[in-house]
């Protein structure tokens, strides 16, 4: 009799791994398919190496601002070595053995869907009661004349760099562009960011965009807005010459594409299992991450919020649903962080998004050094800003942002308030630690009361 698995998981990035882990823990029969490395983009070429390599430059920016401390020389060889260690030297044999030990069938191949409850790989057919698509994304690389002639890198090349270039141009103006600019500039590389729109981080509040640009410029990064590459050619001394759409040329050692990603769903044949893709190629799922009878999708392949924490969350929703526990995904209050120096964190709605939803929203901005003590204990010439957005009628927090040290951590208070729909009255009664950045929320809420009567 043919073996039927409880679940077949296509792709073992953070989303697929959570599904596999939970189902194996529950004693289910699981087959996993991975075309490259178990751990996915995040573990080897994205979140982990980028956050590891960004920490040195971040510490230096902070040290330079603290009385009695000073930045040390960054050691690229050591930093690179630790980055490679954290990215497991692109070796997932321990992961493969770990899953096999736990009873999973591990298939090292690109899988395709061959029918409802049926997955093909390596010329074999695997049957399962549940199929989970967790295939992630791949980089989107724009085409322009001469792109094949120049030295052009995607994020994989950048986050496995062995030798630092002297200069780069980064195309893009979102998370990857900013983090890569902070990383390379921090290690002394001459960086130019070519952002095709008028402001960086276009999905965030305009204040956030302006501050992000200011901090990049402070580090010596050149930011060109309404800019992109029209064509490229090889220049003298191995350089790459970029002809800009707005006119003019620049010569750099390499061009970095930070131009977003597209779902890795082509070739998966989801239609054979009755599922459909949206216009961007994302697998359409409902609030349970359910796509069709016996078919689920998690992580970047759904295009809902392309972050590792969301992929893991969706993985838990799917695993629990398969195990018969009723779970519904909610995407309220999920943080978005750019790990720059200082960190840029945001959660919930922006004013523009609130307006689109017809919400009567009120925004308050707080300059941290004017409002609280913590930045002064941290820095000699303190800086930092935060803002909150409140629904006037519901009297609840619906958005927040912060650009300051450790913002990735203290944004979670806003996250919890939004997700838990905590009334402003309760938030105002909080007693945050002195001195901490968290005190800024109280100041913002007081300002809301005095300025707006809310
Ligand atoms: C430079 C960079 C930095 C980032 N930093 C952060 C960060 O700090 N925090 C954060 O939250 N997010 C970050 N992200 C986003 C994060 O990497 C993704 O959201 C996350 O990896 C999505 O997880 P996933 O499981 O959906 O897919 P992936 O991690 O992309 O994994 C998908 C896996 O599926 C495999 N696969 C695909 N198709 C098949 C197939 N047909 N058969 C078998 N296997 C297949 C792939 O080989 C891959 O291993 C970053 C992204 C980039 C590019
Ligand atoms: N800290 C984090 O959580 C983190 C860090 C890095 C990346 N990520 C995730 O990784 C993914 C990729 O990030 P990203 O910044 O590359 O993608 P993105 O989609 O957020 O931004 C793409 C950028 O490229 C620009 N762009 C697109 N096409 C272009 C073209 N033809 N010419 C010029 N500019 C062009 C866009 O205007 C935009 O600024 C995202 O899902 C992001 O959320 C998350």
* Tens-place pLDDT, residues 426-446: 999 999 999 999 999 999 999
**End residue of a domain, out of 259, 280, 312:** 259
**At which residue do the structure tokens 């085409």 appear?**
143
Q: What is the mean pLDDT of residues 293-316?
A: 98
What per-residue confidence (pLDDT) applies to 377?
A: 95
CATH code, domain carrying 158: 3.50.50.60
Domain co-membership, 125 together with 215: no
What per-residue confidence (pLDDT) applies to 149?
A: 96
Residue 34 Cα to ligand 2 middle (Å): 25
From CA 154, how far away is CA 259, in angstroms rounded? Answer: 9
Domain co-membership, 172 together with 240: yes
Domain count within the chain:
3
Domain co-membership, 28 together with 126: yes
Q: Convert the pLDDT of each residue in 294-304 to its tens digit.
A: 999 999 999 99
Whether 79 maps to a domain, the answer reads no
Whether 66 maps to a domain, the answer reads no
For residues 300-313, one letter each, b for 16 or more C-beta atoms within 10 angstroms of the residue's C-beta and e for the rest, the string is bbbbbebbbebbbb
Whether 65 maps to a domain, the answer reads no
Domain co-membership, 308 together with 357: no
From CA 453, how far away is CA 36, in angstroms rounded? Answer: 56
Output the average pLDDT for the chain.
Answer: 97
From CA 376, how far away is CA 437, in angstroms rounded? Answer: 11
pLDDT of 1 strictly over 80: no
Could you identify the atom of ligand 1 that is nearest to the CA of residue 121? 42
**ipTM exceeds 0.95, yes or no:** yes
Domain co-membership, 383 together with 445: yes
The Cβ of residue 81 has, within 10 Å, a number of other Cβ atoms equal to 11
Whether 246 maps to a domain, the answer reads yes
Whether 94 maps to a domain, the answer reads yes
Whether 21 maps to a domain, the answer reads yes
Pocket test for ligand 2, best of 154, 176, 195, 245 (most atoms within 8 A of CB): 176
**How large a percentage of the chain has pLDDT more than 90?**
99
What per-residue confidence (pLDDT) applies to 114?
A: 97
Pocket test for ligand 2, best of 260, 281, 301, 334 (most atoms within 8 A of CB): 260
Domain co-membership, 242 together with 379: no
Residue 239 Cα to ligand 2 middle (Å): 25
Q: What is the mean pLDDT of residues 177-206?
A: 98
Retrieve residue 257's tokens. Answer: 């594409």
**End residue of a domain, out of 259, 280, 311:** 259
Residue 393 Cα to ligand 1 middle (Å): 39
The Cβ of residue 280 has, within 10 Å, a number of other Cβ atoms equal to 9
What per-residue confidence (pLDDT) applies to 446?
A: 97
Nearest Cα neighbor of 116 from 290, 294, 322, 296 is 294
pLDDT of 424 strictly over 70: yes
Domain co-membership, 19 together with 111: yes
Q: Which residue, by CA, sits nearest to atom 17 of ligand 2? A: 260
Q: Does the Cβ of 336 fall within 6 Å of ligand 1?
A: no
**At which residue do the structure tokens 């350089």 appear?**
239
What per-residue confidence (pLDDT) applies to 3?
A: 85
Q: What is the 3-state secondary structure (H, E, C) of the chain?
A: CCCEEEEEEECCCHHHHHHHHHHHHCCCCEEEECCCCCCHHHHHCCHHHHHHHHHHHHHHHHHCCCCCCCCCCCCHHHHHHHHHHHCHHHCCHHHHHHHHHCCCEEECCCCEEEECCEEEECCEEEEEEEEEECCCEEECCCCCCCCCCCCEECHHHHCCCCCCCCEEEEECCCHHHHHHHHHHHHCCCEEEEEECCCCCCCCCCHHHHHHHHHHHHHCCCEEEECCCEEEEEECHHHCEEEEECCCCEEEECEEEECCCEEECCCCCCHHHHCCCECCCCCECCCCCCEEECCEEECHHHHCCCCCHHHHHHHHHHHHHHHCCCCCCCCCCCCCEEECCCCEEEEEECCHHHHHHCCCCEEEEEEEHHHHCCHHHHHCCCCCCEEEEEEECCCCEEEEEEEEECCHHHHCHHHHHHHHCCCEHHHHHCCCCCCCCCCHHHHHHHHHHHHHHCC
Ligand 2 binding residues, C-beta < 6 A: 142, 171-177, 179, 196-197, 228, 258-261, 306-307, 337-339
Whether 372 maps to a domain, the answer reads yes
Domain co-membership, 34 together with 92: yes
**How large a percentage of the chain has pLDDT more than 70?**
100
Residue 311 Cα to ligand 1 middle (Å): 9
CATH code, domain carrying 418: 3.30.390.30
Q: At what angle do helices 47-63 and 76-86 cross, to 10 degrees?
A: 140
Q: What is the mean pLDDT of residues 60-81?
A: 96
**At which residue do the structure tokens 């890198």 appear?**
153
pLDDT of 2 strictly over 80: no
Pocket test for ligand 2, best of 136, 174, 212, 244 (most atoms within 8 A of CB): 174
Domain co-membership, 169 together with 119: no
Q: Convert the pLDDT of each residue in 236-278 to its tens digit.
A: 999 999 999 999 999 999 999 999 999 999 899 999 999 999 9
Q: What is the mean pLDDT of residues 148-159?
A: 98
Domain co-membership, 132 together with 9: yes
For residues 49-72, one letter each, b for 16 or more C-beta atoms within 10 angstroms of the residue's C-beta and e for the rest, the string is bbbbbbbbbbbbbbeebeeeeebe
Whether 60 maps to a domain, the answer reads no
Domain span including residue 303: 4-45+87-139+262-322
What per-residue confidence (pLDDT) applies to 294?
A: 97
Contact residues for 233 (Cβ-Cβ < 8 A; gap 6+): 146, 149, 150, 240, 241, 243
Contact residues for 101 (Cβ-Cβ < 8 A; gap 6+): none
Domain co-membership, 217 together with 312: no
What per-residue confidence (pLDDT) applies to 286?
A: 98
What per-residue confidence (pLDDT) applies to 312?
A: 98
Strands 343-348 and 336-338: antiparallel
Cα-Cα-Cα-Cα dihedral of 365, 258, 82, 337, to 10°? 20
Band (186; pLDDT cuts 50, 70, 90):
very high
What per-residue confidence (pLDDT) applies to 439?
A: 98
Band (374; pLDDT cuts 50, 70, 90):
very high
What per-residue confidence (pLDDT) applies to 431?
A: 97
Domain co-membership, 92 together with 169: no
pLDDT of 415 strictly over 90: yes
CB 449 within 8 A of CB 359: no
């Amino acid at each position: 009799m043919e073996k039927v698995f409880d679940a077949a998981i296509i792709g073992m990035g953070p989303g697929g791994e959570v599904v596999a882990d939970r189902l194996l823990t529950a004693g289910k029969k699981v087959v996993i398919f991975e075309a490259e490395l178990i751990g996915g983009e995040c573990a080897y070429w994205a979140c982990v190496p980028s956050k590891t390599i960004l920490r040195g430059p971040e510490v230096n920016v902070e040290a330079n601002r603290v009385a009695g401390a000073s930045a040390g020389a960054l050691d690229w060889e050591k930093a690179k070595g630790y980055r490679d260690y954290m990215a497991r030297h692109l070796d997932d044999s321990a992961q493969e053995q770990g899953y096999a030990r736990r009873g999973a069938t591990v298939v090292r191949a690109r899988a395709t869907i061959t029918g409802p409850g049926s997955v093909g790989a390596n010329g074999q057919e695997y049957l399962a009661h549940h199929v989970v698509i967790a295939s992630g994304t791949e980089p989107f690389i724009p085409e322009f004349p001469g792109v094949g002639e120049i030295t052009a890198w995607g994020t994989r090349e950048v986050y496995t760099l062995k030798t630092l270039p002297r200069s780069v141009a980064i195309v893009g103006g979102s998370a990857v562009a900013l983090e890569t600019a902070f990383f390379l500039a921090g290690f002394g590389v001459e960086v130019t960011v070519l952002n095709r729109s008028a402001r960086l981080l276009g999905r965030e509040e305009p204040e956030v965009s302006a501050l992000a640009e200011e901090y990049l410029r402070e580090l010596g990064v050149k930011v060109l807005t309404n800019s992109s590459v029209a064509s490229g050619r090889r220049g003298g001394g191995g350089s790459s010459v970029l002809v800009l759409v707005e006119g003019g040329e620049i010569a750099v050692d390499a061009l970095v594409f930070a131009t977003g990603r597209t779902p890795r769903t082509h070739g998966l044949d989801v239609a054979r299992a009755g599922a459909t893709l949206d216009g961007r190629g994302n697998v359409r799922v409902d609030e349970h991450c359910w796509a069709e009878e016996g078919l689920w999708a998690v992580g970047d392949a759904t295009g809902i919020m392309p972050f590792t924490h969301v992929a893991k969350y969706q993985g838990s929703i799917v695993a629990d649903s398969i195990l018969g526990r009723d779970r519904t995904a909610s995407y309220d209050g999920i943080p978005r962080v750019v790990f720059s120096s200082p960190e840029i964190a945001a959660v919930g709605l922006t004013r523009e998004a609130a307006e689109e939803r017809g919400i009567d929203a009120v925004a308050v901005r707080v300059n941290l050094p004017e409002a609280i003590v913590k930045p002064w204990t941290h820095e000699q010439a303190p800086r930092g800003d935060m803002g909150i957005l409140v629904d006037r009628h519901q009297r609840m927090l619906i958005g927040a942002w912060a650009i300051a040290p450790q913002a990735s951590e203290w944004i979670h208070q806003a996250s919890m308030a939004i997700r838990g729909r905590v009334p402003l009255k309760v938030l105002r009664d909080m007693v945050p630690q002195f001195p901490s950045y968290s005190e800024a929320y109280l100041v913002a809420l007081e300002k809301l009361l005095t300025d707006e009567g809310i």
